[in-house]
Chains A and B, each alone.
Chain A
Amino acid sequence: MYSRVVLLLLLLVVSITLIGCNGAHETDETSWVISIGLDKGDNGDLVVSYRLAVPLVLAAGEAAGGGKDKKPSIIITITAPTLAEARNLLNVAESRAVNLSHVTAIVIGENLARAGVQDAIGALTRFREFRGSMFLFVCRGSAKDMFEHNSPQLDILASRWVENITQSSDETSFYLPTNLHKFYTQLKDDTGSPYMMAIAINPLTGQNKPVENPVVGAKSPEYLAGDISRKGGNPVEPIGMGIFKEDKLVGYLGTEETRAVAILSDNYPRGFISIDDPFLPKHAVNIFFRNGRKPKIHVDLGGETPVIRISVFLEGELSSIPTGIMYESQEYKTLLEAELSNVIREQIINMLIHSQSLGVDVIDFGYFIRPKFSTTQELVSYGWDRRFRQATFNVEVTTGIRRTGLMNKTSPIRREQ
């Protein structure tokens, strides 16, 4: 009898304590922050821009087709010495309790990134509401401006926009999604350099501002974020990557360079490229290609300076041959494969030279030298960062065009006799 009473009491206690109400907040008592922008303020302050979800607008939009005149998110900008103080002030400004556990993106303004993100990033890995899966962006310009100009028209919810652009990076690899975990581990690792997705505001004037001309044989030049010729759409565009030395931004890689990083990191699932037609260079041949296998990277430490040997195999599918030349045939296909290999090889070498000039190992070739050392102390004392700047590269790219699309030959356009 006694044990039954105890059991009953226990069940009562369990049913009360396990319902999850301890410290719970109802959703209509909480302000959900979707993304945070960080800029450098005066006197060492941080300018923190919060984008908060307005769930009522979304609910009204779905249920009654209304809410179109209201925005689904609001932006509040606060200047404070630290992220924690900014959060305190945000809590004062908002009637609802602020919650950061649904932050999907942190955008860091260029000024702050160049000055160093050490102070800003401290809280991100320690406080429970932030997650390693949050995406990080570095903004060419101010994060606050980017927040204000960001007006996605296909995505109602700002968090969905972030998820969609990071997911759709697979289509081009002109930008590479970076989350807090990846950035932070690279920041602290013995080798390699951290990077973030670059983002910027495009003026939408249609002006073309490439940063580099195309490499020989390629059609498309190198663009940085905010510089592509465009009118219409969301002014905010993610392109390329901001690369960091220690915790400071030291430069950007553009579209083609970022794709080269993706190829060498075995993170290039698909994408188009337009290259010169080998016989009629004013025309372009379009190829849909991807990594055919994981790139082979070998770092030789035997000599005075490291020699990095890279072997890449690309697999392609023809998607356009406007000239009617029979590139589907084995004989001509070889020419096209060689052309694509040369273009990608040049782009990879340009990226490597650029990152080497900035003193950053963005691919983390240092990762491949770890088996050559017995202890961490030996690895650290080898001084990979210094050695990488003197390293020489031996890049080999081969391409196999395996498929010719939905056409296996091209008939010429009929010309008047």
Chain B
Amino acid sequence: MDDYNSGRMGMSEGIALAFIVTFPPVFLSHPSTLVTSAGSGAWLTGIPAGFISGALMFMMTYVLARYPGDLISITEQLLGQMLAYVVGLFYFIVLFSFAILWAREFAENTLLTALPYADFPFVVACYTLSAGFILFAGIENICRATYILLPFIIGGIAMVLTGIVPLDRPYNLLPWQGNGLFSLIKPTLSLIGLSGGLSILTLLAPAFQSVKTMKGAVIFGYGGSAVIRILSIATFTMVFGANVAKEKTLPFYEMARLIYINRYLQRFEAIFILLWVMVGILAIAISLYGALFITAKLFKLPTIKPLLPAMTLIIAQVAMIPPDSNSISVIESILYPYVFAPGIIIIPSALLIAVIVKGGKKQCTHV
């Protein structure tokens, strides 16, 4: 038995997992990047992206119902060993990139808001080492901790979105096409690319024991994350208008700063810094786990623990390479829509076609 294969995880762990790997962009610059591309119609892009990503995951559950196992082993069965390596490598790049990009972005945001005088390498190291360290507790425990954190995340978001209702200007969501229908395509692809973290559900499929659990995780975990993300982008656009929204580095933080109920109830943003730090560390840890899992699977390693310190250090080092925070946005604007999204769409589709061609029958609901 490999020590990195998780034991048993239920619906709650699945929901937490699906939520936390797709939610960090809300706390980062991504909403403003979407508004830059799509203008006032940016919030709409979350709807097709959510449905497409959800549908792709449902395609995977269809495959899993017929070929039990994890993503790599199923690909090997259906498409051969070579393509299994290719698929593994692709998802490794996706998850490893998330870990690197998020480590850098969360570190930059912390420097910008909470710790302006701290050393940059120190903050990057705090994020990556914390993520690496909590991985020693195991993926199940991280998922359970995330599930405990979920009400606070959702409650915190709800508090910010309702706290700035007086500043909402609903017509700022119009003209509905924003910068034109064509301009909505790239942000939609970008959001699909960001859903690449959901692949971890298929990597851990055996731990979820049944397809039903995975479907529930997708519907409630990813669905919840997508809905809150749409609401968040919509509120951001309503409050700032597209022209100012695209200027913002930290949309969520800026929204939290605007809450002014009266002279005694204001300056809430400090609370949310803690929230995003926790979300950031958990998301980096889970992405790192996914990348390590794939590495271990592809190279048939018995354990991932010896790799952890090395991979954590690599993440920290690579995260510090881009010269400035805007370079990260440029990298993301290429990676998400043009590199990640095509793979995320093609791989489940190819697996589904393979299952249909090979005529796999539904074996049981267990995976």
Contacts and interface: CB of A to CB of B under 8 A. Distances in A.
A190 interface: yes
B244 A163 contact: no
Contacts of A128: 112-113, 116
Given A3-B136, A181-B167, A181-B258, A375 B175 contact: yes
A74 B126 CA distance: 42
B254 to A, nearest CB: 7
Interface string A148-171: 000000000000100100010000
A163 B176 CA distance: 38
A229 interface: no
B176 A374 contact: yes
Contact of A185 (B112, B174, B241): B241
A45 interface: no
A367 B169 contact: yes
Contacts of A375: 39, 175, 177-180
B112 A376 contact: no
A370 B174 contact: yes
Contacts of B112: 128
Contacts of A184: 244
Contacts of A279: none
A378 interface: yes
Interface string B170-204: 01101111111000000000000000000000000
A179 B321 CA distance: 39
A393 interface: no
Contacts of B171: 367-368, 370-371
Contact of B240 (A185, A190, A379): A185
B167 A377 contact: no
Nearest to B137: A3
A283 interface: no
Contact of B115 (A23, A132, A179, A379): A23
Contacts of B178: 375-376
Contacts of B172: 370
Given A128-B116, A163-B263, A374 B240 contact: no
Contacts of A6: 133, 136
B144 interface: no
Contact of B175 (A23, A181, A379): A379
B119 to A, nearest CB: 10
B126, B176, B262, most chain A CB atoms within 10 A: B176
A189 B246 CA distance: 12
Contact of B257 (A17, A22, A132, A185): A132
A338 interface: no
A206 to B, nearest CB: 33
Contacts of B240: 185
A193 to B, nearest CB: 14
B260 A370 contact: no
A133 interface: yes
Given A22-B118, A23-B117, A377 B179 contact: yes
Contacts of A181: 167, 258
Nearest to B255: A132
Interface in A8-30: 10, 17, 22-23
A131 interface: yes
A189 B242 CA distance: 8
A373 interface: yes
Interface string A167-190: 100000000000101001100111
Interface in B144-185: 167, 169, 171-172, 174-180
Interface in A109-135: 125, 128, 131-133
Interface string A358-373: 0000000001101101
A125 B245 CA distance: 12
B318 to A, nearest CB: 24
Contacts of A370: 40, 171-172, 174-175
A23 B172 CA distance: 39
A132 B39 CA distance: 22
A17 B179 contact: no
Interface in B275-314: none
A163 B112 CA distance: 28
A378 B167 CA distance: 25
B77 interface: no
Contact of B260 (A22, A133, A160): A133
Contacts of A371: 171, 174-175
B363 interface: no
Given A17-B126, A128-B112, A370-B171, A185 B244 contact: yes
A22 B175 contact: no
A337 to B, nearest CB: 31
B243 interface: yes
A381 B113 CA distance: 38
Contacts of A160: 263
B26 to A, nearest CB: 19
A179, A367, A368, most chain B CB atoms within 10 A: A367
Contacts of B133: 6, 10
B325 interface: no
Given A133-B266, A375-B179, A188 B117 contact: no
B257 A131 contact: yes
A133 B126 CA distance: 32
Nearest to A379: B175
A160 B264 CA distance: 11
A134 to B, nearest CB: 10
A181 to B, nearest CB: 6
B309 to A, nearest CB: 12
B194 to A, nearest CB: 24
30 contacts: A22-B118, A23-B115, A23-B117, A128-B113, A128-B116, A131-B257, A132-B257, A133-B257, A133-B258, A133-B266, A167-B262, A185-B243, A188-B241, A188-B243, A189-B241, A189-B244, A370-B40, A370-B172, A370-B174, A371-B175, A373-B175, A374-B177, A375-B175, A375-B177, A375-B180, A376-B39, A376-B175, A376-B179, A378-B175, A379-B175
Closest 5 CB pairs of A and B: A23-B117, A370-B174, A133-B260, A188-B243, A370-B171
